[in-house]
Amino acid sequence: MQKRKYAGTWTAIITPFQSDGNLDEENLRKIVRRQIENGVTGVVPIGTTGESPTISEAEVERIFEIVIEEAGMPGTAGKMMVMAGTGSNCTKKAVEHTKAAKKAGADCCLVVTPYYNKPTQEGIRQHFMAVAEVGLPVIVYNIKGRTGVNIQTDTLMEIAKHPSVVGVKEASGDLAQMKEVLEQRSDDFTVLSGDDGLTLDLIKMGGDGVVSVASNLVPAKVSEMVEYALAGNFEEAWKINEYLASLFSEIFVETNPIPVKYIASRMGLCELIYRLPMCAPSAKARELLSATIKNYNLA
């Protein structure tokens, strides 16, 4: 199986905050180091899991700076890549964030479909063309459930003609659409799963890995599963997938990143601080997540 440049396990990292609501820089550094130590391909700061809509402009630059500094320069032995979350439903802002990521030294960026606006397919195409002109490799992020609009495969293939557009994070949940993308992509176009539970299904069809939420908690296990699958050893990959299946489900018992951040706080990775409108999990969710912590020996 061909190993594309951006293939592997990417962790969509949480953003830790202090009790006063400010960015927790110390724990952010620890989170990134832990990912390096557990062998992931790279991290994604300021994605949905990182509570991106609540991050200020000043914090965007600071988070990129910290994460890239900890991850090391691209190609450094023992380090990892950084896929900066630069998306916005304002094209101008997405371009500015992408310029900031490029200046900071990110390897690539993750750009979500404009949300709430519900642009036409032509509007989507023009949005990504504007971001791609910055010159930083772009991973398109298709997630209809969060944005209200799906990137049709024909549109994605048009976007992919730009030399800076190098892949897609597919979180449509539609395996038929993913299959279409895989059949029509160019040889060097990376297709990553946006759902932990569909990672192996995607790789089996020819996909390249995952942008994972679960790897915030169990990075080594998710990385091992993906590496087995990319090497064609699906027997071992499915064993890990079966072991992690409950975790993949339970960390979405409430809106992401509420559950994963709750477990991370119990693991000592961050304080249990969210920015509204994200808030602490309900009593019922805490009960389930406490059982998850016990079952996976995470505390």
Share of the chain above pLDDT 90, in %: 94
Q: What is the pLDDT of residues 8-46, one digit of tens each?
A: 999 999 999 999 999 999 999 999 999 999 999 999 999
- Residue 171: is its pLDDT beyond 90? yes
- Residue 179: is its pLDDT beyond 80? yes
User: Is 167 a domain residue?
Assistant: yes
Q: Which residue range(s) make up the domain with 208?
A: 8-233
Residue 261: active-site member: no
User: Is 156 a domain residue?
Assistant: yes
- Sign of CA pseudo-dihedral 94, 97, 99, 102: negative
User: Is 272 a domain residue?
Assistant: no
Looking at the DSSP assignment, which residues form a beta bridge with residue 82? 43
Q: How many domains does the chain have?
A: 1
Q: Which of 141, 228, 262, 274 is catalytic?
A: 141
Q: What is the pLDDT of residues 65-112, one digit of tens each?
A: 999 999 984 444 457 999 999 999 999 999 999 999 999 999 999 999
Residue 221: active-site member: no
User: Is 286 a domain residue?
Assistant: no
User: Is 296 a domain residue?
Assistant: no
**What is the per-residue pLDDT for 1?**
63
User: Is 247 a domain residue?
Assistant: no
Distance, CA of 6 to chain centre:
12
User: Is 166 a domain residue?
Assistant: yes
User: Is 40 a domain residue?
Assistant: yes
**What is the per-residue pLDDT for 78?**
56
Residue with tokens 């599963």: 225
Q: Which of 92, 102, 144, 169 is catalytic?
A: 169
**Is 0.85 surpassed by the pTM of this model?**
yes
d(CA 24, CA 22): 6
Q: What is the pLDDT of residues 234-277, one digit of tens each?
A: 999 999 999 999 999 999 999 999 999 999 999 999 999 999 99
Using an 8 Å Cβ cutoff, are 110 and 211 in contact?
A: yes
Q: Token digits for 268?
A: 């000592």
The overall average pLDDT reported for the chain is 96
- The CATH number of whichever domain residue 181 belongs to comes to 3.20.20.70
Q: What is the pLDDT of residues 108-126, one digit of tens each?
A: 999 999 999 999 999 999 9
Show Cβ contacts of residue 32 under 8 Å, excluding neighbours closer than 6 positions.
13, 43, 66, 67, 70, 71
